[in-house]
Amino acid sequence: MYVSAWPFDGVSQTENQQRQRAVGRVAFSAAGLDGRTRPMQIEESGSMRIRLPNAQGCGLDAVLVNTAGGIACGDRFSVRIDSRSGAVVTVATPAAEKVYRSDGPVAELSVDLKVAADSRLDWLPQETLLFDRSRLRRNLAADMAESASLTLFEAVVFGREARAESIVDGLFEDRWRIRRGGRLVYADTLRLDGPIGDLLQKPAVGKGARAFATLVHVAPDAEARLNAVREHLSAGNGCDAAASAWNGLLAVRFCAMKVEALRAAAIPFLLAFRGEPLPRVWLS
């Protein structure tokens, strides 16, 4: 296993000192060896860390940690995960990622996932919590082999309900691109800019909801799982959910008024869908 650290390109030292913004980068790879998934390379820089709790079974859990304590205006983070042949990797975070109010600059988070033939990667961070007037641009790009399996789950919550906080204004841009066998198979971009609270009230946008999640599963068996997935989606209880499948992928959307309702629907679903426990950090 190789560990190194290096400066983050594109951000001057003078700018960092002046604004005192966080910059971090993690690169991690794992491969299947002798029936188990083993770490091959870890690279860390700035406030980003990756930890590997002791795991049972053949797979490997990886936990991303942001030692900056959240994301603020102008922060820049980069994550690269490489699941090599035969690997089974699950990536999670220890808690919700908080995105704080910005005085103008946009925070950026880029995620680059590579999934080799006959490997599996589950991307399961806990929810992203957006504060009022936060500004975040997030980009996720995945490149996978035809025989690989990729599951992505991302949840976002607009405002802290416990403090009666509402999102008046801000920017949230979420861009997903998945390539399978070199072909673009999934492209999705969500952009909410300006009066986010008003936008979420519109029936075609959120109908007043403030907690959302998306699951995308791309694998040889993805379309065949649609009927079973719909049976696992609980109706009512404050969270709406629906699933569809096409061209070798499966997509599920969750929409709830409260984050508690979202988690109450999403956690049992993920347990049933994956057929195994969630990463232990989800339960802490």
pLDDT of residue 103: 87
Indicate whether 276 belongs to any domain: no
Q: How far apart are CA 207 and CA 10, in angstroms?
A: 40
In a domain, 143, yes or no: yes
- Report the 10 Å Cβ neighbour count for 284: 7
Q: How many domains does the chain have?
A: 1
pLDDT confidence of residue 204 = 87
Where b means 16+ CB within 10 Å and e means fewer, 249-281 reads bbbbebbbbebebbbbbbeebbeebeeeebbeb
Is the confidence at residue 3, as pLDDT, over 50? no
- Distance CA(116)–CA(138), nearest Å, equals 24
Q: Which of 69-73, 93-97, 129-133, 280-284 has the lowest mean pLDDT?
A: 280-284
User: Looking at the domain assignment, is residue 271 inside a domain?
Assistant: no
Q: What is the pTM of this model?
A: 0.90
Q: Give residue 19's pLDDT band: very low, low, confident or very high (50, 70, 90).
A: low
Residue 97, helix vs strand vs coil: strand
What does the pLDDT read at residue 73? 85
Spatial distance between the Cα atoms of 29 and 89, rounded to a whole number of angstroms: 9
Range of the domain at 189: 2-218
In a domain, residue 243? The reply is no
Report the distance separating Cα 31 and Cα 260, nearest Å. 36
* SS3 of residue 57 by DSSP: coil
Out of 67-71, 138-142, 158-162, give the one with best mean pLDDT.
138-142
Residue 193 domain-assigned? yes
Question: Is residue 13 over pLDDT 50?
Answer: no
**For residues 55 and 61, is the Cβ–Cβ distance under 8 A?**
yes
Residue 229, domain member (yes or no)? no
Q: Is residue 148, in this structure, part of any structural domain at all?
A: yes
In a domain, 281, yes or no: no
The pLDDT value given to residue 167: 83
Range of lowest pLDDT (63-72, 99-108, 129-138, 158-167): 158-167
| Inter-CA distances, 237 with 111, 183, 259, Å | 32, 39, 12
